[in-house]
Structure 1
Amino acid sequence: MKTLVLFLTMTAVNFVTNAQDTDGVTITVTVPNVANSDGAVLFGLYDETTFMKAAPIKSAKGEIVNGVAKITFTDIPAGEYGISCVHDANNNERMDFEENGMPKESYGVSNNNMSYGPPMWSDAKFQVGAEDVELEIRF
């Protein structure tokens, strides 16, 4: 009887453990309004310490098809994140600026709050929990 109870307990624990997503979730990001199909859209996933200050935690390059770019970040642990993206029309892997400091290329951030000046963490942040996340960022 002890063996049966132990077996059933171990089976239940194994089932619950394997049912939990230990690798994190996915974040799928779509930009539906890219001006043209030149170049690609560069995406960066940030936390509070890296947003607008350092290299992204993860980055991706999205192909533009019919004015839409879409990427998926995988294995993202629960936490607070922000995403920025830029239409890299000339494929130089960076955002280009005018002489006066204004961006030459279209860009956007999570939550689509586009005020004057650089994006702010408080406007771009969003929560990732146990469920996959789908976002739309507009230029």
Structure 2
Amino acid sequence: MKFLIPILVATMLSTTNLLVAQNTKTITVTVVNATSDTGKIGYALYTKDNFMGEPIQGKREKIVNGKSTVVFENVVPGVYAVVCYHDKNNNKKMDFSDNGMPLEDYGASNNVMAFAPPSFKNAKFMLKDKDLKLEIKF
């Protein structure tokens, strides 16, 4: 009996993990208009709760012929936003001028470009029961 309970618990946990893994999706994001192939594109996947903070997933990818693509894997269906920027000098951060204006191109899901930082309201999208592909323009 002592050994039966841990075995049952382990079986239930592995079954739960398997079900969660089967329900996850991928989000493929492509920047389609980088102004050069210099540097990399930094991508961040957010929920409303962590928007513009620590992303759920962050990735960096090279640019070829003005395009860059990443795949966020194992994403549970829900509401998300993607923000990205062109890290031209590869310093792994968005650069700003002294007056606070961005020195590097940036964009967000849904391609709403106001003269302000991206907002979750404008960038949010729903990941449902199918993998998703997004294009972002700077």
Same fold (TM over 0.5): yes
Within 5 Å, which residues of 2 pair with 1:51-70? Answer: 51-52=51-52, 54-70=53-69
Residue deviations 1:109-129, cap 9 Å, x none? Answer: 000001011111110000001
Partner of 1:29: 29
Report which stretch shifted further, 114-123 or 18-27. 18-27
* Alignment-mate amino acid for residue 35 of structure 1: T
Q: CA deviation at 1:21?
A: 6.1
TM-score by length of 1: 0.83
Alignment of 1:1-139 (within 5 A): 22-52=22-52, 54-139=53-138
Distance 2:99 2:106 in 1: 17
Residue matched to 1:12: none
Q: Distance in 1 between matches of 2:117 and 2:103?
A: 14
Segments of 5+ residues of structure 1 without an aligned counterpart are 1-17
RMSD: 1.6
User: What is the aligned-residue identity percentage?
Assistant: 42
CA separation of 1:19 and 1:99: change in aligned 2, threshold 3 A: closer
Secondary structure of the corresponding residue to residue 123 of structure 1: helix
Runs of 4+ residues deviating >3 angstroms:
18-21
Q: Name structure 2 gaps, 5 residues minimum.
A: 1-17
